[in-house]
Amino acid sequence: MRANSHRERVYRTRAIILKRREQGEADRVITIFTPEFGKRVIIAKGVRKPTSRKAGHLEPFTHATLMLARGKTWDIVTSAQTISSFRALREDLDLTAYAYYFSELLDAFVQEEDPHPELYDLLLDAFHYLEQSPNPALTARWYELSLLKLAGFSPQLFQCVRCGQHLQPETNYFSLEHGGALCPRHGEGEAEAQPLSLNALKVLRYIQSQPYAHIIRLQLTPGTMRQLEKLLGDYLRFLLERRLKSKTFIHLLRR
């Protein structure tokens, strides 16, 4: 659409604030995610001064319209206007932790300057859902599976990833390395594979295929919730460690 607009001296974009850090006396370096340019690191000058008008629009999780000017190292925020502040995510410690986790997970999966509008929409949806969620942990599992799908790492949950046979209604296995389920015959010999109960398999398939409005109505036992959290957490950690193995490992899933 406006593929060249980032070459203009001043340009406008919508953005979600992923994270920020302090820089110098009064500045902040901010990582944003935009629909047109993907992830980008920018600087907000003087934003830590009490008189700054931009500060309130550049808080984590904020969805904002930004005017940016080309800079040498980082582009510079010249003005910022909140579209949605997601205040509920800031006012509840538990929701704040989830919102940070959602942001960090996306940050870890995307490269700078690699546009991915579907992931942009996903994160916005996830923040909206989280604000109203009767079950934030289940919202998180939906978000993880949706992000995996868009990033091209959707786990295979219907056929054995080794032999291709349709999985039977019994305890199967899950392989991080193969990115999906294994039948008992192939799972038992696989050292890194973990058992996958029939119930957990059904719930994962349901979350992978149904609309969020249906998923959030699921009533799951704490045991099933823990299984799903562990399995998806292990899989995400595995993918990110493989990807970042030459860099410093980041403690993404630290809860």
**Position 186 contacts Zn ion (CB under 5 A):** yes
Nearer to Zn ion by Cβ, of 39 and 186: the residue is: 186
Give 82's strand partners: 64
181 binds Zn ion (CB under 5 A): no
3-state secondary structure 8-26: CCEEEEEEEEEEEEEECCC
CB of 164 vs Zn ion, minimal distance in Å: 7
Considering only 58, 162, 175, 227, the residue that binds Zn ion (CB under 5 A) is 162
Tell the smallest beta-carbon distance from residue 184 to Zn ion (Å).
8
Choosing from 18, 122, 140, 160, the residue that interacts with Zn ion (CB under 5 A) is 160
Q: Tokens for 55?
A: 């500060």
Among 183, 196, 215, 236, binds Zn ion (CB under 5 A): 183
Task: Supply the minimum distance, in Å, between the C-beta of residue 230 and Zn ion.
Answer: 23
DSSP line for 61-116: T-EEEEEEE--SSSEEEEEEEEEE--HHHHH-HHHHHHHHHHHHHHHHH--BT---
Sign of the dihedral through C-alpha 136, 138, 140, 146? negative
Q: Does 157 bind Zn ion (CB under 5 A)?
A: no
Binder of Zn ion out of 10, 83, 163, 250 (CB under 5 A): 163
Q: Read off the tokens for 58.
A: 């550049």
Q: Which residues bind Zn ion (CB under 5 A)?
A: 160, 162-163, 183, 186
